[in-house]
Structure 1
Amino acid sequence: MGTDVPFDRRPIGAEQFDAWLELLAAVEAEDREDEHHGVDDLREYLADPYCDFARGSVAFYDGPTMIGYGYLKSRTEADPVHEMYYLGGVHPAYRGRGVGAALLAWAEEAALPLHLERYPERPLTLYSSSLARNAPASELYAAQGYTAARWFHGMTRDLLAPLPDLPAPDGIEVRGFTAERSEDARLVRNEAFRDHWGSTEQSEEGWAHMTSGPAFRPGLSFVAYDVAEDAVGGEALGIVLGEEYEAHTEATGRRDLYVSLVGTRRAGRKRGIASALLVQAMAEAREAGFATASLGVDADSPTGALGLYGHVGFTVKDTWIAQLKPLWSPAAG
């Protein structure tokens, strides 16, 4: 059906938050992704330095009802390819009417000029995702030329269940996340994820946006330092960052610690640092009244993250498929 659907369309702005939240709630009620949103979350999306909502977003309307949305997010690097994110959704009552295909067609058209402004000498690929148990979504991506490229698990843990006794190894000191330690944490993150599929460097601007957002919880975030030879300073080797989404708490009645990042530098791997960081974050969260913890992980993580999370009590709840479509290359013009 392409882009020829009989609905009004316009870029997404703050004045549309109520309509957007209604659409997101309808999608969650149908798809059960355990994703809940509030105004603060939408405001943070609009403030993302790698999004351009004026040119890189669209909402489809049937009268006053937002029935589909999509937006694009650039990456911090394009080495060797710029994998630009596409995020979107369609109201369940309007599925099967060409809206999803029209949104993906819009994304292809809108992505190229945004890409050329940042990385004119690099190829462009669109990167989206679908829930593995949502067969119609995966079929839509396949019909539009996307290829299933990677699988990611959403994992969860009951914080009321006993936590393992996994203290920091000798010579490692776990310190709370502070503004003064933020740059140490960013550098750990960049080195830790350098060998992960699809990962790019986290810029200072992007890091500041993430660690100043309404969901970030510095009190549930920690940095591990090697103090074996330097008890005062030490080299930062590992991080764990915690977040809490208030809209999720309001919708479910339970507080969930979302572990947005866990990582160790190469010099800190296989020493129990990540396990100790996770357990400390979960212990602090449980003490603060959190009922569960959750996180996402590459099913084929090169660092064995899936086994690590299983070891500390996480289990797989859902699986997501990374969907990729090469869109443009300098050679093709």
Structure 2
Amino acid sequence: MPGEALTIDGLDPRYDARRPTVEDVPAVTALLRAHQLAAHGSASVDPDMVETNLVGYGSWTRRQALVFDDSTLVAWLSVHDRAAGRSMVDVTVSPDVPQTDAAAIARALFGCAERLARDIARARQLHSTLLDSGAYETDARQQQWLTDYGFEKVRTWLQMSRPVTAQDATGVPPAREGVTVRLVRQHPDGLPVAEDLQTVHQVLEESFQDHFSSYRESFPEFIMRLREDPGHRWDHWWLATVEVDGEELPAGAVVTTVLPEDADGFEGTYVDYIGVHRRARGRGVAKSLLNKVISETAKRGGNRVGLEVDADSPTGADGLYTSMGWVTSYRTQSWHLELDLH
């Protein structure tokens, strides 16, 4: 059954727009694959993640629209209410649509995204909000649309991957002396101990205070968003502590998820977050956390660990990752547009 019809200002009337339904998951998955292939030459789309964001848990904080030419899906808009004052905007237009028509569709969808983001901000009683979108570094088409709408490119990100072999299960160094790495504690029923989750959130919030475009995300928003990922597992959350004046203090945290099977049938691990508190920097905390992720991935039979890092990171994190075997697969960009609701 088709989703509810939508009216999008500026969209050519020959196109139909409506809300997504579960029946649209295969078409949206195919659209994303085609876009990725055209944009940077390879594609990796998880249908479970598409379903989660389209109509599952992830859809609760997203406002979305699908655009059709007759019965063919040609575009997808997603506006994610990520946190107070920040909406993540994704506009995907099929590479099969002629350039002029595609640009017109994109402009109408960015306009719709702005209106939705303003509605979200007003509901939160905010006076301003940020539209946060992105593009592959090799996708000149998307970059042109973002520029035309008024977005500004603000950052480049390295998408890195490290191969993992069976030898990594025992071959990586242990945590540095004075650093303890442990799993987030769990109750007998498998649910995590709230105190540890709150500690992870606090450590990451404080770790990223001096990083690019840092913003406050509440604890419930943080937990809810990470739980939306089909690859989420509570036994993939780790805390690091260091001893200071005889007291064990939180020093760092890493949150990872399971990557779906690759073409060879092997799962992997993705580092969603890794942060080291300022009081513990220079003590090998990040390396200890990463070595734990590598060894645990190997023990589970995984063959890779992926992550994203700021190409201009003031902490030199990319150098650490490179020294530990990570290589850059491709680059992406962040584009921002500030909206003043006054």
Question: Are 2:210 and 1:195 equivalent residues in the alignment?
Answer: yes
Task: Tell me which residue corresponds to 2:297.
Answer: 285
Check the 8 A contact 1:50/1:74 in 2, yes or no: no
Deviating more after overlay: 319-328 vs 40-49: 40-49
Distance change >3 Å, CA 73–CA 40, structure 1 → 2: closer
Task: Tell me which residue corresponds to 1:237.
Answer: 251
CA distance in 1, matches of 2:251, 2:60: 28
Task: Tell me which residue corresponds to 1:87.
Answer: 90
Task: Give SS of 1:267's match.
Answer: helix
Question: Are 2:238 and 1:222 equivalent residues in the alignment?
Answer: yes
Task: Tell me which residue corresponds to 1:63.
Answer: 70
Distance change >3 Å, CA 44–CA 67, structure 1 → 2: closer
Question: Are 2:309 and 1:306 equivalent residues in the alignment?
Answer: no
Q: 1:11 Cα shift?
A: 2.3
Q: 1:60 Cα shift?
A: 0.3
Task: Tell me which residue corresponds to 2:45.
Answer: 36
Task: Tell me which residue corresponds to 1:109.
Answer: 115
Task: Give SS of 2:45's match.
Answer: coil
CA distance in 1, matches of 2:77, 2:295: 38
Identity of aligned residues (%): 23
Task: Tell me which residue corresponds to 2:223.
Answer: 208
Task: Give SS of 1:139's match.
Answer: helix
Deviations 1:239-274 (A, max 9, x none): 11211133xx16563322111111111111111101
Deviations 1:116-142 (A, max 9, x none): 111432x23321011011111111211
Question: Are 2:47 and 1:47 equivalent residues in the alignment?
Answer: no
CA distance in 2, matches of 1:264, 1:34: 32
Distance change >3 Å, CA 229–CA 278, structure 1 → 2: same
What TM-score do you get using the length of structure 1 for normalisation?
A: 0.86
Task: Tell me which residue corresponds to 2:106.
Answer: 100
Task: Tell me which residue corresponds to 1:142.
Answer: 147
CA distance in 2, matches of 1:216, 1:227: 30
Aligned residue pair count: 317
Task: Tell me which residue corresponds to 1:23.
Answer: 31
Task: Give SS of 1:92's match.
Answer: coil
CA distance in 2, matches of 1:140, 1:190: 32
Deviating more after overlay: 60-69 vs 185-194: 60-69
Distance change >3 Å, CA 165–CA 285, structure 1 → 2: closer
Q: Which amino acid aligns with 1:224?
A: A
Check the 8 A contact 2:183/2:239 in 1, yes or no: yes
Q: Which amino acid aligns with 1:100?
A: A
CA distance in 1, matches of 2:200, 2:121: 29
Q: 1:217 Cα shift?
A: 3.0
Deviating more after overlay: 111-120 vs 42-51: 42-51
Distance change >3 Å, CA 165–CA 21, structure 1 → 2: closer
Check the 8 A contact 1:186/1:202 in 2, yes or no: no
CA distance in 1, matches of 2:98, 2:253: 41
Q: 1:50 Cα shift?
A: 7.3
Distance change >3 Å, CA 265–CA 11, structure 1 → 2: same
CA distance in 1, matches of 2:70, 2:283: 58
RMSD: 2.5
CA distance in 2, matches of 1:9, 1:288: 43
CA distance in 2, matches of 1:49, 1:23: 18
CA distance in 2, matches of 1:16, 1:139: 28
Distance change >3 Å, CA 22–CA 182, structure 1 → 2: same
Deviating more after overlay: 268-277 vs 161-170: 161-170
Task: Tell me which residue corresponds to 1:264.
Answer: 276
Task: Tell me which residue corresponds to 2:18.
Answer: 10
Task: Tell me which residue corresponds to 2:182.
Answer: 175
Q: 1:197 Cα shift?
A: 1.3
Check the 8 A contact 2:26/2:47 in 1, yes or no: no
Check the 8 A contact 1:220/1:285 in 2, yes or no: no
Task: Give SS of 1:175's match.
Answer: strand
